[in-house]
Amino acid sequence: MKTSKKRSHVTLQDVAAHAGVSRATASLVLRGSPNISEATRQKVLAAMQQLGYVYDRIAANLRSNASSTVGLIIMELANPFYSELLVGIHQELDKFGYTVILGTTFDSHAIQERLLSTMLEHRVGGIILSAVPGSSSEGVNQIIKLGIPVVLVGRKIANVSCDYVGIDNVRGGQIAAEHLIRKGHRRIAFLGGFSQLSSWQERKRGYDQAHYAAGLPIDNNLVVETPATRQGGIAAIQKVLTAPEPPTAAFCYNDMIAIGAMMQMKEMGFVPGRDMAIVGFDDIPEATIFSPKLTTVSSFPRLMGIHAARLLHAQIEGAADEPQTIILQPELIVRESCSYAKNQTRA
């Protein structure tokens, strides 16, 4: 806001003058128009070189009512899920020539609102948004009405009709729970995350379905909500481990929680994987470096990013008709953190 800066400015005007042509002609060669003689083209190019001209894309965009930027709003960067998502989005957007403007909400509505308007003010050509849980449809719908393409990623918003890319969370929760059940577990905790999140609800539903299918009861004392961080995992496992009748396995809302939980188990003298089976969600790189290696449900964050970028591009190009939805199929990655249940409850 309080920014300001003196700019030494070689303008297209200067280039044109130096080359002995009009501003319009200079602009034409800049943009590679075919109906410019090779001779003047060279003259202008030489002038740009000599003067050290730098194109003012901002001014050009203003005049031609275009945009070369895209806004990207995610929760935070500390969770590798989002770094990976960002990598995918960024890499793909790059190919299309967009420049990305980044914002992180830390799941605060106020920040998300601010970020959204900042991006509009900066004339972004479109927005990729991983929305704060419980976001109202209002804000986003307003943006869409303005004609700015939006694609939601990972987190849906009720009553908003726009592109969405996500993972089949129900299925993900289901295959995780099924895996645990197959290993003989009958008391399976559901650890971390918050029930306001659509992804939480869906993973929980999958978990429930697997229980129903196996004829297992669901004990709500075994679901504990915490932030989806390592800290949250520590808190969650602690609660469940000190309960009167602890579970023999835990399905964690995401890998961060799973890792926090396993760290805390070690801290308390338990052996994760043996004393309690753990499965995570996302398959972040950390999943593979922990001992035991984390069995988890991959949500392909990088791929999600790539899809999101492509959808946005299609919309910006006007190639989109109806709002699209892309749901990736999750995959169970079996590693080392799930042993068989020894008996009904932990020894």
Partner DNA sequence: CTGAAAGCGCTTACAG
Read off the amino acid at residue 107. Answer: D
6 binds, among DNA, its own copies, none (CB under 5 to 8 A by kind): its own copies
Nearer to its own copies, 286 or 331 (CB): 286
Distance CA 72, CA 131 (A): 11
- By CB under 7 A, residue 1 contacts DNA: no
# of chain residues touching DNA (CB under 7 A): 29
Q: Which one of 50, 57, 138, 344 is in contact with its own copies (CB under 8 A)?
A: 57
The DSSP symbol for 226 reads: B
Helix, coil or strand: residue 329? coil
- By CB under 7 A, residue 5 contacts DNA: no
How far lies 236's CA from each of 189, 226, 246, in Å?
10, 7, 12
- By CB under 8 A, residue 87 contacts its own copies: yes
Q: What is the CA radius of gyration of the chain?
A: 26
- By CB under 7 A, residue 37 contacts DNA: yes
Beta-carbon-side half-sphere exposure of residue 42 (alpha carbons within 13 Å): 3
Nearer to its own copies, 46 or 77 (CB): 77
Distance CA 210, CA 16 (A): 71
Nearer to its own copies, 8 or 343 (CB): 8
- By CB under 7 A, residue 47 contacts DNA: no
- By CB under 7 A, residue 99 contacts DNA: no
Closest CA to 11 of 44, 53, 42: 53
Q: Which one of 97, 215, 217, 244 is in contact with its own copies (CB under 8 A)?
A: 97
Residues 52-81 vs DNA: string with x where CB under 7 A? ---xx--xx-xxxx----------------
Helix, coil or strand: residue 8? coil
Closest CA to 227 of 251, 261, 257: 257
Footprint of DNA (CB under 7 A)? 7, 9, 11-13, 20-25, 27-28, 30-31, 34-37, 39-40, 55-56, 59-60, 62-65
